[in-house]
Structure 1
Amino acid sequence: MNQNIMTVRLEEISDLRFGYYTKPKEKGEIAYLQAKNFDEVGNSKQDLDNFLDPDPKNRLHLLNEGDILLIGKGNKNSAWVYKNEFGPAIASSIFFVIRPNQKKVLPEYLTIIFNTIQTQTYFQALGAGSSIPSIRKSELEAFTFILPPLALQEKIVGIKRLQNKELQLCKIIIAEKEKRNSAVINKLINEEIK
């Protein structure tokens, strides 16, 4: 194995905390992120409908660029990287907020690791036997993974971005084919009726 590639525990390269528990409002200055705001692979998927007003207590929970949100409860433990362009936001208590040391690990690389089938299976095994599967903070801190040099992490992230673009294009192509096929079928049916 390459000497620059090592296996690390999550707690060695990041700080972990729980998301913030509170009752959100319909309007406010800070987005209150919940699991429903993300798709199965952790991408943002819908308009926000829960907000908070800033106060001294919740300001401590504002997300920073590169923070990772990992769903800690339920049957899918997707991860997503927070970007400042999203606007001020606080993660709800369903999430772990992971603040990686970006001098050692790229947040996007770590998110790729979290969203792999192998890691998802591992997380599900941790929560097995509970009515609502959940990961304990100590178990997440002890999670080990391969940490290559930053240059290799960047290549892996680049490949994943290309894969995501390809998947989006495939979805668009499939939707267009479905529209075209439906139009042809409708035309044939209408011609047959005449």
Structure 2
Amino acid sequence: MSARILALVGSLRAGSHNRQLAEAAVKLAPEGSEVALFEGLAEIPFYNEDIDVEGSVPAAAVRLREAAAGADALLLFTPEYNGTIPAVLKNAIDWLSRPYGAGAISGKPVAVVGTAFGQYGGVWAQDETRKSVGIAGGKVIEDIKLSIPGSVTRFAELHPADDTEVVEQLTEVITRLHGHAAEPAAA
């Protein structure tokens, strides 16, 4: 079965190592998988129920919801900002959680990975992201993890797509997430 995996990146910086990791995922998607990198998280306003009403939902939020609804699974890439999840990623999760109980990620397999400068590779942010997306209705795949420490030095002159260890680990993440995305069709 083919699987469309939507990638969301919690960093808006053009040269972000997490963005580079997501770009690598797009290139590494195994046969039968497509990883699509969502562009436009910066344009989505902070979640506000006053604007989340039919006819008033901002176009950027509608695009995000449609992209997630059309995906079989989500792969979230998060840096760690002050020991936790970046606001842009949390905001995307908030928009995807609505309408309550029937959000665009409800029941969809979700994996969370990332890289950060610290020695643990952003595990706090990843844990917080898993918690948030799980509460929002996503089916968090807890045993799919990838935390790459020392991003600033490790990727100073090497793109993640050119790092053999990262390529192997990221390919494994996508392959395993693809397997989870295929489960509902097999049921």
- Taking structure 2 as the reference length, the TM-score comes to 0.31
User: Could you say which structure has the larger radius of gyration?
Assistant: 1
TM-score (norm 1): 0.30
